[in-house]
Amino acid sequence: MTQLVWNGLFVGSFYALVALGYSMVYGIIKLLNFAHGDLYMLGAFSGFAVLSALGGVATAMTLPVLLAVLLMTMVSTGLAGVVLERVAYRPLRGAPRLSLLITAVGASFAIEYGMRIVAGPDPQVYPVRLSGTAIEVFGAWFTLQQLVLIGVAVVLMVGLNLLVTRTREGRAMRAIALDPRTSSLMGIDVNAVISRTFFIGSALAGAAGVMAGAYYGKIDFLMGFLIGLKAFTAAVIGGIGNISGTMLGGLVLGLLESFGTYWLGGEWRDVFAFGVLILFLTVRPTGLLGERVTERV
Amino acid sequence: MLEISDLDVHYDGVHALRGLSLTIAAHEIVALLGNNGAGKTTTLSAISGLVRPSGGKVVFEDKDITGLAAHKITSCGLVHCPEGRRIFSTLTVHDNLLLGGYLVRDQAEVRKRIDRVYDLLPRLAERRAQQGGTLSGGEQQMLAIGRALVTGPRLLLLDEPSMGLAPLVVAQVMELIADINASGTAVLLVEQNASAALKIAHRGYVLESGQGTLSGTADALRSDPRVVEAYLGGA
């Protein structure tokens, strides 16, 4: 039981990390960025490239090196997100929503099969593996590495939440989400803020990608596809566009999967997750913490 | 302070503004009058950078700002308070005002300006933690103007501040605008409510089908039979 909760929270914090970028981008420009999962994949591969380049150093001191690699990957994946927005989405600002959506699907394929050309179709084995001795707490087994990964995820999420709710930049993001034209009249450089939003969201996905690579030990060019859909599910469960809702949604999805797997068997895991997505879309499309707009005109 | 010459705006084939010229001197309130669709909002949008003019020139404080991005024009001290108030409805009153101070790096200065707005409009101070969208129409208009004031404008463009408000509230809004002007900010006031606008304005322009047809001092316009006929309801 405790083990199920722990597993759920662990997987859930990955989902939450990826879902946050999804949710932020949706929040600010109402775009379902279907290429977001592929940024997670890019993160895993750029972490892989850095680790391979480092060679022997990496295996010698796993955790600090991994954190450094994490940081570098976040920067490079963040930049990839900025380029994606600039090239694929900005020219379509103001175009019908459907055009953007189709472009996002196209961008997703472009990144996936672009990576296939670069890295080949076969899965790559991650040069570092996080497999430590397991510790038992309250009847659940987990490793120190898991704990560190969750810790990193939590720090990133708390930092993001502070950024969005407490800072001038976050206020500008929330303003653009509501009304980009009026935001520009406040002196906000709307395009620059949107770029930075993509940077942050993509960097978080990249971080999750490295963490997943190091944890599961294997990466391939299609690894972002399923996690992208899962992140979307998590965002919908929590309330897409809402930061704390999205974090909650990630954890809830992780827990649901963990328990669903236990009760129904592993082969039902994805069926269960997407069943929940459909349930939420029909019964409560605003999600658990979705915003209700109070407006008087 | 502001000089517009031969301004043209096209929207997908519609020629919305045809060679409009207009000037505003420092410390002036200038009213821009006209019916629905005459091009009043288009004029303001072309000045503030929301719409790119297809011809003509906009010069603000001896600087050519034609076609500059909206956020850059705001940073020049020319601030557009848009039609329909455009409050950030799910953000608090205080957050709305803070957004007005987005460009001001000095947080103490932002606080000072917001306090001044609260002094001027105590109703907003009472509701500072409330969501902007829950305010009444008049309060939202006050908030929109207050938010624009926090940006520190030297020229304020106001688009239909009286729209949808009760006569008593219209009078309060006009009084506020006159106060703002008295403290040194020039105002370009777009109004359908011509009589209210001409009461506080120094000069005015009349816009018809995207062209300036009449202009003069507020007194002259008020007694011009054409203005009386078309905008002041006969009399």
- Using the beta-carbon criterion (under 8 Å), do A296 and B135 form an inter-chain contact? yes
Structural domain contains residue A7: no
Domain range for A41 is: 20-223
- Confirm or reject contact between A185 and chain B (CB < 8 A): yes
Count up the domains in chain B and report the number.
1
Count up the domains in chain A and report the number.
1
Structural domain contains residue B15: no
pLDDT at A150: 85
Structural domain contains residue B62: yes
Structural domain contains residue B28: yes
pLDDT at B61: 93
Positive or negative, the CA dihedral A104, A197, A274, A143 is positive
Higher pLDDT, B161 or A1: B161
Average pLDDT over residues A208-212: 89
Residues in B touching A171 (Cβ below 8 Å) = 91, 95, 98-99, 102
| Interface predicted TM-score (ipTM) | 0.91
Structural domain contains residue A261: no
- Confirm or reject contact between B74 and chain A (CB < 8 A): yes
| Strand A134-137, strand A140-143: pairing | antiparallel
Q: Measured between CB atoms, which of A168, A178, A297 is closest to B88? A: A178
A295 band by pLDDT with thresholds 50, 70 and 90: very low
Give the number of beta-carbon pairs within 8 Å between A and B.
Answer: 85
- Using the beta-carbon criterion (under 8 Å), do B48 and A185 form an inter-chain contact? yes
Structural domain contains residue A161: yes
Whether residue A223 is predicted with pLDDT greater than 70 in this model: the reply is yes
Whether residue B58 is predicted with pLDDT greater than 60 in this model: the reply is yes
Rounded CA gap, A106 and A200, in Å? 22
pLDDT at A1: 75
pLDDT at B66: 92
Residues in B touching A174 (Cβ below 8 Å) = 88, 90-91, 95
Structural domain contains residue B112: yes
Q: What does the pLDDT look like over B109-155, one tens digit per residue?
A: 999 999 999 999 999 999 999 999 999 998 999 999 999 999 999 99
- Confirm or reject contact between B100 and chain A (CB < 8 A): yes
Domain range for B181 is: 24-231
The residues facing B59 across adjacent strands are B3, B64
Nearest CA in chain A to B132: A295
Structural domain contains residue B4: no
Here the CATH number for the domain that contains residue B44 is: 3.40.50.300
pLDDT at A57: 58
Compute the nearest-CA separation of A297 from chain B (Å).
Answer: 7
- Using the beta-carbon criterion (under 8 Å), do A171 and B84 form an inter-chain contact? no
A121 band by pLDDT with thresholds 50, 70 and 90: confident
- Confirm or reject contact between B50 and chain A (CB < 8 A): yes
Whether residue A297 is predicted with pLDDT greater than 50 in this model: the reply is no
Q: What does the pLDDT look like over A156-189, one tens digit per residue?
A: 888 998 998 889 999 999 999 999 999 999 999 9
- Confirm or reject contact between B79 and chain A (CB < 8 A): yes
Rounded CA gap, B107 and B58, in Å? 32
Structural domain contains residue A162: yes
Most B CBs within 10 A among A182, A291, A294, hence the mutation to make, goes to: A182
Structural domain contains residue A50: yes
pTM flag (> 0.95) = no
Average pLDDT over residues B49-70: 92
